[in-house]
Amino acid sequence: MIEIFYKSNGQIEMSQSVAVLSELTPEMVVWIDLFAPTGDEKRSTEAFVGTTIQSRAQAEEIESSSRFSETDTAIFANTNFLIPGPEEYSMETVSFILTDNVLVTLRECPLRSLTDLQRRILAFPKFYPTGYTVFVSILEQRIDLDADMIELMSKEIEQFNRKVSLGEDINEEFLLDINQLQENTMLVRENIVDKQRVISSLLKSNKYPHSLQPKLNVLLKDISSLINHTNFGFERLEYLQNTVVGLINLDQNKIMKVFTLVSLLFMPPTLITGFFGMNLRLPLTDTWWDVVIVLVLMVFSFGAILLIFRKRKML
């Protein structure tokens, strides 16, 4: 699908027809959004902007030269957009091409930040005169969403911490939930750092309008703040994980201690019954009080061991 945003009579209109490109000039077009495009849509866009659009494989490469590059006529930038799921997050790579004040975006899945911005462009066209402005707005929108995700993860960490403080059921499943939240935190941090690298490269570019540099500098400050939040959140999760592991180990040690003490308590009575159970002639046997003597010795030995354990505060 292709969506073309172009200027018309002081407004910005949107068209989903490739044929419109033949009637427009680069000065009229602000943004061309390619969402899982067909071959014809991609070729028509390449012909209109006069450059080749990167393939998905090229966009997903992690080298710096693949994430941001420039030619004599165009700027190419690739960055990841985080998609939250019910349990884990996923990454979607979006390609940006800027040429002659026209922004081209290439993506393979719906993204809320781009959809919201499309509505705003149609409602407030004067705030989006060029593709460069649209690109900065997309980054602003995306960083705001990343900040919301970090805030939600902070609340989850608070809930986990409260469960540990209240002594609720702490088990291996709870530990796995903490580990999953750690993975999500690392994905968010990676996603933010990727945008930091793109914005830093834009500030070094001679092609990007100097009038937008203050906005880019503000975005860099916001990103630095978000990175600090993610680092703090990850440290809290590590501390919480260590606490949970320690509590689980303490519970296991208590169980082993009980089994050990029970074994020690019953060891003397077991020794006595084993001794008097031998098929030999022993002292104090062959009388009617043999059973009483054995029972007394067993109870006495059990009580003596129990008293020793309690005095040493082992029970």
Instruction: Kindly report which listed range (66-80, 222-236, 294-308) carries the lowest average pLDDT score.
Output: 294-308
Class of the domain covering 2-248:
alpha beta
Euclidean distance between CA atoms 256 and 253, whole angstroms = 5
Q: Boundaries of CATH 3.30.460.20 in the chain?
A: 2-248
Q: Boundaries of CATH 1.20.58 in the chain?
A: 255-311
Task: Read off the pLDDT of residues 261-278 as tens digits, 9 standing for 90 and up.
Answer: 777 777 777 776 776 665
Q: Is domain 255-311 given the CATH code 3.40.50 in the classification?
A: no
Q: Would you say residue 315 has pLDDT above 70?
A: no
Q: Would you say residue 19 has pLDDT above 80?
A: yes
Predicted structure pTM score: 0.73
Q: Would you say residue 301 has pLDDT above 80?
A: no
